[in-house]
């Protein structure tokens, strides 16, 4: 896996920040990474302990093995490539205490944009570009005005499917993918 930290200095220089060390800290702060609270970041949406927090992270990676029928013998399998790489992120939001109800609207708007987003975990690993496949939520524990005190959600994302591997990303690619976050 390509480490996001490897590109911080290059991304900071590309964004026009000053000294390398200070720039790295500025870029991380603007991205909300490194503060100890961001668990996962998809585009400009952060899953944090103080807002939308995923309670678990499920990942399924498929590998495509096609069955080859053979005359007078048992079928054999042939590897023809990678299948889907998908994450499911079930979580919870307590709107009174953690970020409000608009967080789900933000992730839905991102899904409607129809573009892949860079996925970076809280340890700085760039996991690649991912598409939002579905968003679901359940509101419970309403107050006297009908506002939910608890929102359970589930977000499904899958790899965009670039023709290059994670290790082939360059600092130029990362700067382009992160435009608009600075």
pLDDT in tens, 86-109: 999 999 888 888 777 888 999 999
6 pLDDT more than 70:
no
Q: What is the pLDDT of residue 53?
A: 81
- Residue 171's φ and ψ, nearest 5 degrees, are -65, -30
71 lies in a domain? no
Strand partners, 63: 82
CATH number for 53: 2.40.30
70 lies in a domain? no
80 pLDDT more than 50:
yes
Confidence of residue 18 (pLDDT cuts 50, 70, 90): very low
- Residue 155's φ and ψ, nearest 5 degrees, are -120, 130
Once rounded to an integer, what is the mean pLDDT over residues 159-178? 61
72 lies in a domain? no
Domain that holds residue 112: 5-61+79-177
Which residues, including other chains, have CB under 8 Å from residue 129's CB and lie 6 or more apart? Answer: 116, 117, 118, 119, 159, 160, 162, 177
Q: If you write DSSP's letter for every residue of 95-139 in order, what string do you get?
A: TTTTT-THHHHHHHHHHHHT--EEEEETT-BEEEEEEEEEEEEEE
Q: What is the pLDDT of residue 172?
A: 54
Strand partners, 123: none
Q: What is the pLDDT of residue 24?
A: 46
74 lies in a domain? no
94 lies in a domain? yes
14 pLDDT more than 80:
no
182 lies in a domain? no
Q: State how far the alpha carbon of 92 is from the alpha carbons of 47, 103, 124, 149, 171, in Å.
A: 10, 11, 23, 10, 34
91 lies in a domain? yes
Residue that wins the pLDDT comparison between 167 and 66: 66
Selection from 127, 136, 111 nearest residue 167 by Cα:
127
73 lies in a domain? no
Report the number of distinct structural domains present in the chain.
1
For the entire predicted model, the pTM comes to 0.67
């Amino acid at each position: 896996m390509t480490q996001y930290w490897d590109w911080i200095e290059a991304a900071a220089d590309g964004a026009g920040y000053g000294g390398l060390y200070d720039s790295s800290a500025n870029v991380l702060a603007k991205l909300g990474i490194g503060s100890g609270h961001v668990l996962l970041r998809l585009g400009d949406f952060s899953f944090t302990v103080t807002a939308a927090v995923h309670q678990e992270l499920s990942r399924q990676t498929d590998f495509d093995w096609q069955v080859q029928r053979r005359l007078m013998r048992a079928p054999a399998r042939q590897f023809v490539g990678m299948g889907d790489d998908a994450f499911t992120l079930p979580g919870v939001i307590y709107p009174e205490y953690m970020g409000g109800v608009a967080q789900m609207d933000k992730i839905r708007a991102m899904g409607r944009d129809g573009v892949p987003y860079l996925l970076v975990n809280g340890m700085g690993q760039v996991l690649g570009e991912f598409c939002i496949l579905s968003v679901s939520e359940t509101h419970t524990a309403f107050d006297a005005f009908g506002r939910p005190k608890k929102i359970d959600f589930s977000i499904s994302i899958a790899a965009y499917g670039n023709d290059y591997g994670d290790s082939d990303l360059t600092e130029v690619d990362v700067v382009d993918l992160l435009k608009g976050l600075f």
